[in-house]
Amino acid sequence: MRKKRKREHVENYLRTTYKGDTLLEDVFLQHNALPDLSFEDIDTKTVFLGKTVDYPIIINAMTGGSDFSWEINRDLSLIAKEFKIPMAVGSQTIALCEEEECRDSFEIVRQTIGDDGIVIANLNAQASLEDVKRALDMIKGDAIQLHLNPAQEVVMLEGDRDFRGILRNIETIVKGIGKPVIVKEVGFGISKEVAEKLYNVGVKNIDVSGYGGTNFIEIENIRYNNIDFSDLYSWGIPTALALIKCRELSQELNLIASGGIRTGMDIIKSLVVGGDMAGISGEILSYLLHGGYENARNYLEATIHKMKIVMLLLGKRNMEELKATDYKIVGELKELVNNL
Ligand code: FNR
C-alpha cells in the first residue's frame, strides 16, 4: 500500500497544474551598478550541520521505499555528491515497517554521497524515539527531519486524523536523540506562532516549507476523486511570509527556505529574507523525470550560475554579506507581514 502511494505521489506531482505563489516576487532587491568584485571572487560555501557545503542548497525530502524510488534517489544523490550539497531522503516509515528490500532505496543515498557529505533522515513528527534512531542508523544520518503534514493527512483517504501530542513527541525526540532535529512542513508553511512553540521545546532547525510550490492537497486530490478538494488548493502560508515571520523570532534559529524554490533568484531572495539554506524538491524532480539525470544536474548547474550572477549584481561576495542585504517588500507580502 505504502509503495503504491509513494509512486503515486511522484507520478501525481507531475500531473499537478495549480500554481501557488511564494510571494518572493514581492521582495525587491536593488541593483548595484558598481559591484567591486570579480565573478571569480564569489564564494557560495557555507556551514550546515557542522559541515562545509559548496552551496546553500538542499535536495529536499521526497522519496524512497521501492525500485522506482531507488533510481530517483541514486540520481539525486549523484547530483548532491557532485555539487557537494546536502540531501534529505523521503519518509522512511516504509522501510521501518515493510520488507528489508525497502531499505536499499534509502541506503543508496549514503553509499553514493559518502561519509563526508550530509544525508538527512526523514520521518513523520509522530514517530517514536526508537524509530527515529533506526531511521538515522539506516543511512548514518547527520540529522533527522520530522515532517508536519496535517493538511496532507486530512485530505488523504487513509491519512491520520489525530494530531494531538505532536509537540510533546518532538520535545522527547529533541531531548533524547543527540543529533540535530529539523522540523519541516511539506508545502503549507510554518507560522511564527508554531515556530515559537517548536523553539521553546528546543528545536533549533526549522524548514518552513511554505506555500507556492508542491501542493499536496492537489496531489492527494488526483489520487482520489470521491470529494473534490480543489477549493482548498490556495491554503497555506507563502514561503516568503513564513520566512520573514519565523526569522523575527530569533537570529539563532537555523531556517531552511523551501516550498516553491525553483530558480537562482528564488534562492537569493529566500536567503536575503531570512533563510540559511534553500531546499528544492519538486522542481529538480521534474527535471529528472522529464529528461533524466543529465537534465536535472544541468538544471542545478544553471540555477547555481544564475544565483552567482545575482550575487555579483548585488555586490555580495559571500553568504554572510548576502544574508545582510537590505531588501524592501511590496504588495501582498508587505500587507501580510505588517498585519500579522
Ligand atoms: C515531498 N515532500 C516530502 N516531505 C517530507 O518531509 N517527507 C516526504 O516523504 C516527502 N515526500 C514528497 C514527495 C514528493 C513527490 C514531493 C514533490 C515532495 C515535501 C518536500 O520535502 C517539500 O517540503 C515540498 O515539496 C515543498 O517544496 P517544493 O517541492 O515546492 O520545492
Q: What is the pTM of this model?
A: 0.98
**pLDDT (average), residues 95-105:** 85
- Average pLDDT over the chain reads 96
- Angle at CA of residue 296, ends 292 and 297, nearest 5°: 115
For the cut 90, the answer to whether the pLDDT of residue 102 exceeds it is no
**pLDDT (average), residues 285-297:** 98
Place of cell 522512511: 92
Please report the atom of ligand 1 found closest to the CA of residue 209: 23
For the cut 80, the answer to whether the pLDDT of residue 1 exceeds it is no
Q: Which residues lie with the beta carbon below 6 Å from any ligand 1 atom? A: 9-10, 13, 60-63, 90-91, 122, 145, 147, 184, 186-187, 209, 213-214, 258-261, 280-283, 285
How far apart are alpha carbons 96 and 179 in whole angstroms?
A: 19
Please report the atom of ligand 1 found closest to the CA of residue 91: 9
At 3-52, the pLDDT tens digits run 888 899 999 999 999 999 999 999 999 999 999 999 999 999 999 999 99
How many A from CA of 281 to the centre of ligand 1? 6
Q: What is the pLDDT of residue 5?
A: 84
How many A from CA of 10 to the centre of ligand 1? 10
- Check the annotation: does 213 bind a ligand: no
Q: Calculate helix-pair angle for 239-249, 192-200, nearest 10 degrees.
A: 40
At 183-235, the pLDDT tens digits run 999 999 999 999 999 999 999 999 999 999 999 999 999 987 689 999 999 99
How many A from CA of 303 to the centre of ligand 1? 19
Candidate of 281, 285, 299 to mutate for ligand 1, largest count of ligand atoms within 8 Å of Cβ: 281
In the structure, what pLDDT confidence band is assigned to residue 272 with cuts at 50, 70 and 90?
Answer: very high
Q: What is the pLDDT of residue 332?
A: 98
**Domains in the chain: ranges and CATH:** 2-339 (3.20.20.70)
Q: What is the pLDDT of residue 101?
A: 78
- Check the annotation: does 22 bind a ligand: no
| All residues at 6 or more sequence positions from 243 whose CB lies less than 8 Å from its CB, including other chains | 208, 210, 255, 257, 270, 273, 274, 275
How far apart are alpha carbons 150 and 148 in whole angstroms?
A: 6
Q: What is the pLDDT of residue 231?
A: 96
Q: What is the pLDDT of residue 144?
A: 98
Percent of the chain with pLDDT over 70: 100
How are beta strands 51-53 and 46-48 bridged, if at all? Answer: antiparallel
Number of other residues whose CB lies within 10 A of the CB of residue 40: 7
How many A from CA of 145 to the centre of ligand 1? 12
Q: What is the pLDDT of residue 296?
A: 98
- Check the annotation: does 33 bind a ligand: no
At 137-180, the pLDDT tens digits run 999 999 999 999 999 999 998 899 999 999 999 999 999 999 99
- Atom 17 in ligand 1: residue holding the nearest Cα: 282
Residue 293 in grid coordinates = 539525470
How are beta strands 27-28 and 328-329 bridged, if at all? Answer: antiparallel
Q: What is the pLDDT of residue 62?
A: 98
